[in-house]
Amino acid sequence: MTSRRRFVLVDVFADRPLAGNPLAVFPEAEGLTDPAMHAIAREMDHPATAFLFPSEEPGAVFRLRIFSRDREIPFAGHPALGAHFVHALESRLPLDEPVTRRAHEGPEGLVRVELRVEAGRVTMLRLTQRAPVLGKRLSDPETALAAEALGVDEQVIQATNQPVRECSTGLPVLIVPIATLEALQGARPRYGQLRTLLEGRVASIVYAFTKETISASSAAHARAFDTASSVEIPGAGAAAGALAAYLVSQAAVTVTPVTSLVIEQGHVLNRPSTLYAEVHVKEGEISQVIVGGRVIRVGEGILEV
């Protein structure tokens, strides 16, 4: 028998419609099996698709599962923010001004999200990520392989005097510094080589960045390459959290007890994204990483499966 499943389309980290990272949210996913959700994610053909289930976890307003074209993703920024935005629009739960705090159930417990509310409307969402875990820096030969895999000259990495290293605030990524905006925009990733580079590592996303930016208010311009799906992601919240922690840990930005950073992404894909990161430092250690952005509803539909 065919069932009808309603979905809502949103753009996450977007300052205008049809920008940012597109996301399909299925607000009533109860009854869908894992193979069905995987097939639906392939059909939607976005970097990720969000499925909301009822939760019995105390404090959670729903249980969230996230699928990409190729796999289930345990944690990601833009699906979490998009899911909460849609839930806030469609649930009868009150929105307290100026801030409403909510949480959803993820694979490893509660994930907390803050909704900024003005005149009854959600204007911004912020996701609290996990304490950062910084991996070892890549060796010079490994850095040369990273440059080749990204299609850039090794010198544009070495000239930054910053390491290539894994970092995670919930989703491990490989951070690659690039000296110039021109070099980063000209990068042409070879995904097979990137997968070889990441063999034996937990990261599946390569997040290349430069401190040369398009907007004067941005701290970094970034590009995210998903090696599992062989696609570029226009706005990656978990990766942006890892980059913010990386920049603070390397003292690559001015560090204060609460360091606020803007990261721009997605311009090469003609889907500009703006990600707002906040890194809290206490007694010399990073205690909290928060990443947020705006979400825009762009439509809805019915999938018959």
Nearest by Cα to 176 from 219, 128, 144: 144
Number of Cβ within a 10 Å radius of residue 74: 12
Mean per-residue pLDDT for 210-216? 98
Mean per-residue pLDDT for 181-200? 96
CA angle 263, 273, 149 (to 5 degrees): 75
Residues in contact with 261: Cβ distance below 8 Å, sequence separation at least 6, in sequence order? 219, 220, 244, 247, 253, 276, 277, 278, 279
**CA separation for the pair 110, 31 (Å, rounded):** 22
- Binned at pLDDT 50, 70 and 90, residue 223 comes out as very high
Longest dimension (CA), the chain: 60
Looking only at the bridges linking them, the beta strands covering 21-26 and 4-12 are antiparallel
**CA separation for the pair 201, 205 (Å, rounded):** 11
**pLDDT over 90 (residue 180):** yes
Buried b (16+ CB within 10 A) or exposed e, 277-295: bbbebeeeebebbbbbbbb
Topology of the domain comprising 133-292: Diaminopimelate Epimerase; Chain A, domain 1 (3.10.310)
- Residue-wise pLDDT tens digits, 99-155: 999 999 998 889 999 999 999 999 999 999 988 999 989 999 999 999 999 999 999
Same fold, 4-128+294-304 and 133-292: yes
**CA separation for the pair 14, 297 (Å, rounded):** 10
**Cβ–Cβ < 8 Å for 33, 51:** no
In this prediction, residue 1 carries a pLDDT of 59
Per-domain boundaries in the chain: 4-128+294-304, 133-292
- Residue-wise pLDDT tens digits, 13-47: 999 999 999 999 999 999 999 999 999 999 999 99
- Residue-wise pLDDT tens digits, 237-288: 999 999 999 999 999 999 999 999 999 999 999 999 999 999 999 998 999 9
In this prediction, residue 94 carries a pLDDT of 93
Q: Which is it for the CA torsion 132, 138, 143, 145, positive or negative?
A: negative
CA angle 67, 71, 77 (to 5 degrees): 45
**Cβ–Cβ < 8 Å for 212, 264:** no
In this prediction, residue 262 carries a pLDDT of 98
- Binned at pLDDT 50, 70 and 90, residue 305 comes out as confident
**pLDDT over 90 (residue 160):** yes
**pLDDT over 80 (residue 2):** no
**Cβ–Cβ < 8 Å for 300, 5:** no
**CA separation for the pair 5, 277 (Å, rounded):** 34
In this prediction, residue 186 carries a pLDDT of 97
Looking only at the bridges linking them, the beta strands covering 133-137 and 295-304 are unpaired
**pLDDT over 70 (residue 236):** yes
Two structure tokens written together for 37: 């959700």
Nearest by Cα to 223 from 215, 214, 231, 232: 232
Among 3.30.70.580, 2.30.180.10, 3.10.310.10, 3.20.190.10, name the CATH number for the domain at 4-128+294-304.
3.10.310.10
CA angle 169, 66, 110 (to 5 degrees): 55
